[in-house]
Amino acid sequence: MGKNVLVVDDAAFMRMKIVKLLSDNGYSVAGEAGNGEEAVIKYQQLKPDLVIMDITMPVMDGIAAITEIKKVDDGAKVIVCSAMGQQNMVIQAIKSGAKDYVLKPFQPDRVLEAVKKQIG
């Protein structure tokens, strides 16, 4: 069975693109979340192998969500997705425990490379 990934982004079309990319390449999508708060809850319910998370979201941003997920599971693997020009937020996300980052608009190969590096 493929590795399970939780996809978190406030834009439904971005989630759809990532879900399709992962599914087409043999990964299972455990679930989706539209903000950081949902992501923390879904992480605890689904226990995915990996989380792909947007940084800028309503309710709770990606950085806060990473911090919360890391409290629950120190070994959590998170890749952040960020728009160009958000270097400071990417650095914060990495300091909070993100393992890698992908810039938006993302290159499919770069996303797959980051995923493969984390969960094979």
Helix and strand counts by DSSP (H, E) for the chain? 5, 5
Q: Tens digits of per-residue pLDDT, 1-12?
A: 469 999 999 999
What is the distance between the alpha carbons of residues 115 and 47, in angstroms, rounded to a whole number?
16
Q: Tens digits of per-residue pLDDT, 36-55?
A: 999 999 999 999 999 999 99
Both tokens of residue 11? Answer: 């834009």
Set out the domains of the chain in order of their start, with CATH numbers.
4-10+22-119 (3.40.50.2300)
CB 18 within 8 A of CB 9: yes
Average pLDDT, the chain: 95
Asked whether residue 92 carries a pLDDT value surpassing 90, the answer given is yes
Query: What pLDDT, on the 0 to 100 scale, is given for residue 85?
Result: 77
With pLDDT > 90 as the criterion, what percentage of the chain qualifies? 90
pTM (2 d.p.):
0.95
Query: Quick one: CA dihedral 110, 50, 6, 21, positive or negative?
Result: positive
What is the distance between the alpha carbons of residues 30 and 96, in angstroms, rounded to a whole number?
23
From its phi and psi, is residue 85 left (phi > 0), alpha (psi between -120 and 50) or beta? left
